[in-house]
Amino acid sequence: MDKITGFLKEVYQELTKVAWLARKDVVRSTVAVSMVVIIVAIYVSLVDFGLNIVLKSILGGH
């Protein structure tokens, strides 16, 4: 039990040293990541749609 308590105390001490981002920075980063994910998803969808059409025309699909 002493090992667990010691470990938790060390974890708490380390967490007090962490430089946390401001809320504004977190929101800005979240929006940026979300936009990149949306753009990549649209790009992948368009490429998939285009390749689907090409393969159907080559293979004679409907």
- Reduced to 3 states (helix: H, G, I; strand: E, B; else coil), residue 53 is helix
Is the pTM higher than 0.85?
Answer: no
Domain count of the chain? 1
Q: Is residue 12 part of a domain?
A: no
Per-residue model confidence as pLDDT tens digits over 24-53:
999 999 999 999 999 999 999 999 999 999
pLDDT more than 70, % of the chain: 97
Residue that wins the pLDDT comparison between 60 and 39:
39
Give the structural domain span for 25.
20-62
Q: Is residue 15 part of a domain?
A: no
Q: Is residue 58 part of a domain?
A: yes
Rounded distance between C-alpha atoms, residue 2 and residue 54, angstroms: 66
Structure tokens at 33: 């990541």
Residue type, 8: L
